[in-house]
Amino acid sequence: MEKSTDKMSVRESWQVFKFIFKFLLPFQRYFIWAFVFSVITTALASLMPFVLSVFMDSYLTPMKATDQIIFYFAGLYLLLAIINSIAFFFKWNYLQNGSIFVNQYIRKKVYGKIHQLGMRYFDQKPTGWLITRITNDTDLFDFWQTLFNALTSVLSIVIAFVALFVIDHKIALVMLLILPLLILAVIIYQKVSTKVYQAMLAKRSELNTKLNEYISGMRIIQQFRQESRLGNEFEKTNDEYYGYRKKVIQINGILLSPLVNFLMAISIVVVLLMYSNRSLHAVVEAGLIYAFISNVQIYFNPISGLMDSLSNFSNGLVASSRIKTIMEEQEFSPKQGSESSVNKAPLIEQGKIEFRNVSFSYDGEHQVLKSISFIVNPGETLAFVGHTGSGKSSIINVFMHFYEFTEGQVLIDDQDIRTFTKEELRHKIGLVLQDSFMFVASVTDNIKMMNSQITDEAAKEAARFVQADHFIKDLENGYETKVIEGGAAFSAGERQLINFARTIVRNPKILLLDEATANIDTETEALIQDGLTNMRQNRTTMAIAHRLSTIKDADQILVLNKGEIIERGNHDELLELNGYYADMYRIQTLQKEL
């Protein structure tokens, strides 16, 4: 569940603040410089009305303003204005750059962390949710600006108050009495706005998640004519989102500037009344009133700005708490031989595979693999067959060590799988999934997977080896044809062939195949079978088979049912056993004949 600031305790908020503030430290010099320039601009903003008031009261009103004096004051005022503008430019520049760099740094760290997490984590989190976390939540630009503005606002109020005090300490003290009212206004605004603002953000996140789901599931949506149902759902969420947006606008319209402006107007009236009262007994200088009122404005202005950006602060704090949760996530991908022990870590040389009494569960409750044991000798082929959900893919998931398992042992070349480095496992084990993902790049780059150590010639050689060469050559631009997102322009069989080439170009010692179940035309099917036969030469292979005809020549076939091995042997032995496998084989042969 998303946490909002009103649900976060003060202690929690402080923890989150300390956590996120650490990311700012490497860039603190930007913020320190921004602050220095901020002090200069604030001091100048308070000083400039003074210069004018001296000019008005000492020269203009008593009619002593000579050309030289006018020139002198105009020059001084202009000089202060130029210095102010330059200081403002530097303040702005340092602040913007600092904020951008911190954001970039946080995003890099979160992205890096996501890569360390295990499949279990991704099973639980919708893709849209994760994308929102990495893109929106790491965008703390407004948060840093608000934090900085809060600091400079306090500075501005203090400087303006000192100026007011210097001009007239009695009236300045009256202004001090208004301060609690201002603080009260800020608190009321914060209370009312935060709730609505958080609700609006939660809706936006929901909208993103939905959108991502719709776009990635478009094929199914169209196939099952779900457009109007999902369209209505989307419209409802979108309407709710805009409803909250409207509320935010209304609250801001009523409470934001009008409230502070109203308090400021009252203060100015009080100031004028006090000066009027005083003018009954003594001369009151107009310039002084001008300087005073200018500083009253400087005293009030930061407050409405601060209130306006308060939502940024609470929003940033919520986003930071989500970043904190991701950064502290302990659902890591299973541990492999560490980088430091690379020299000692074993290498996969023979490709012998052994499972010893392996049991596994995704959620810690339901056992999907129960005491699985088998050995595949180097160069042999082992096939898994069984009903859907029987655990075939889970064996591959455990073998690839995508998930941690707690019971039993998985060995490669008689060494525990955990002792190999991740690089060695990924390099020496070639995994061919049913539907292969294609990246937006040329066909060659899709085979090389952007690995510059693999030459174009090697990629072509691999394509020839797996029989993918024929169809690639027939493409408009051959190997240089651009693949569109997800490889949607290729048939399932063609994607499979490219995937074969991608796997084989790395020359793995072990092959894991998840046979495609998609409808593939007979011609491509024949190419795939030839490709597979070539790939399996001199490699240990574990294959998930849906069509039993493709694994007749496997050295061993394991029949799985509800996570257990119920039959094992080669094709002839299993037929002779006349059990589950023999039944499945007969049904499939019959279907083919029909």
Ligand X SMILES: Nc1ncnc2c1ncn2[C@@H]1O[C@H](COP(=O)(O)OP(=O)(O)OP(=O)(O)O)[C@@H](O)[C@H]1O
What minimum distance in Å lies between the beta carbon of 224 and ligand X?
20
299 vs 384 by CB, closer to ligand X: 384
Assigned token pair, 55: 């000019």
Q: How far apart are CA 179 and CA 163, in angstroms?
A: 16
64: Cβ contacts below 8 Å, ≥ 6 apart = 58
506 vs 546 by CB, closer to ligand X: 546
What minimum distance in Å lies between the beta carbon of 386 and ligand X?
6
198 vs 394 by CB, closer to ligand X: 394
C-alpha distance across the termini of the chain, in Å: 53
What minimum distance in Å lies between the beta carbon of 126 and ligand X?
13
24 vs 558 by CB, closer to ligand X: 558
363 vs 474 by CB, closer to ligand X: 363
Does the CA dihedral 170-174-175-180 come out positive or negative? Answer: positive
Are 424 and 484 in contact, with CB atoms under 8 Å apart? no
What minimum distance in Å lies between the beta carbon of 341 and ligand X?
30
123 vs 349 by CB, closer to ligand X: 123
What minimum distance in Å lies between the beta carbon of 402 and ligand X?
9
User: Closest by alpha carbon to 215, among 126, 137, 133?
Assistant: 126
32: Cβ contacts below 8 Å, ≥ 6 apart = none
User: Closest by alpha carbon to 390, among 565, 584, 561?
Assistant: 561
What minimum distance in Å lies between the beta carbon of 370 and ligand X?
11
What minimum distance in Å lies between the beta carbon of 498 and ligand X?
22
208 vs 394 by CB, closer to ligand X: 394
What minimum distance in Å lies between the beta carbon of 240 and ligand X?
31
What minimum distance in Å lies between the beta carbon of 393 and ligand X?
3
Q: How far apart are CA 382 and CA 390, in angstroms?
A: 16
Q: How far apart are CA 5 and CA 315, in angstroms?
A: 8
Residues that bind ligand X (CB under 6 A): 123, 362-363, 368, 386, 388-394
Q: How far apart are CA 349 and CA 146, in angstroms?
A: 58
**72 C-beta neighbours (distance < 10 Å), count:** 14
CA angle 554, 557, 562 (to 5 degrees): 150
334 vs 478 by CB, closer to ligand X: 334
107 vs 370 by CB, closer to ligand X: 370
97 vs 393 by CB, closer to ligand X: 393
Surface-to-core class of residue 444, CB atoms within 10 Å of its CB (0-12 exposed, 13-18 middle, 19+ buried): buried
What minimum distance in Å lies between the beta carbon of 9 and ligand X?
34
- In the chain, what are the helix, strand and coil shares in percent, each to the nearest 5? 65, 10, 25
What minimum distance in Å lies between the beta carbon of 513 and ligand X?
13
Does the CA dihedral 564-568-572-574 come out positive or negative? Answer: negative
Surface-to-core class of residue 221, CB atoms within 10 Å of its CB (0-12 exposed, 13-18 middle, 19+ buried): middle
Neighbouring-strand partners of residue 513? 432, 543
Surface-to-core class of residue 313, CB atoms within 10 Å of its CB (0-12 exposed, 13-18 middle, 19+ buried): buried
Q: How far apart are CA 37 and CA 85, in angstroms?
A: 10
CA angle 93, 98, 100 (to 5 degrees): 100
What minimum distance in Å lies between the beta carbon of 220 and ligand X?
16
What minimum distance in Å lies between the beta carbon of 86 and ligand X?
59
Q: How far apart are CA 491 and CA 493, in angstroms?
A: 5
Assigned token pair, 424: 């060695």
386 vs 508 by CB, closer to ligand X: 386
CA distances (Å), 277 to each of 91, 168, 174, 474, in order? 42, 14, 15, 96
The separation between CA 131 and the C-alpha centre of its own chain, rounded to angstroms, equals: 4
49 vs 391 by CB, closer to ligand X: 391
Q: How far apart are CA 573 and CA 567, in angstroms?
A: 10
303 vs 545 by CB, closer to ligand X: 545
Q: Kind and range of the H or E element at 254?
A: helix 227-255
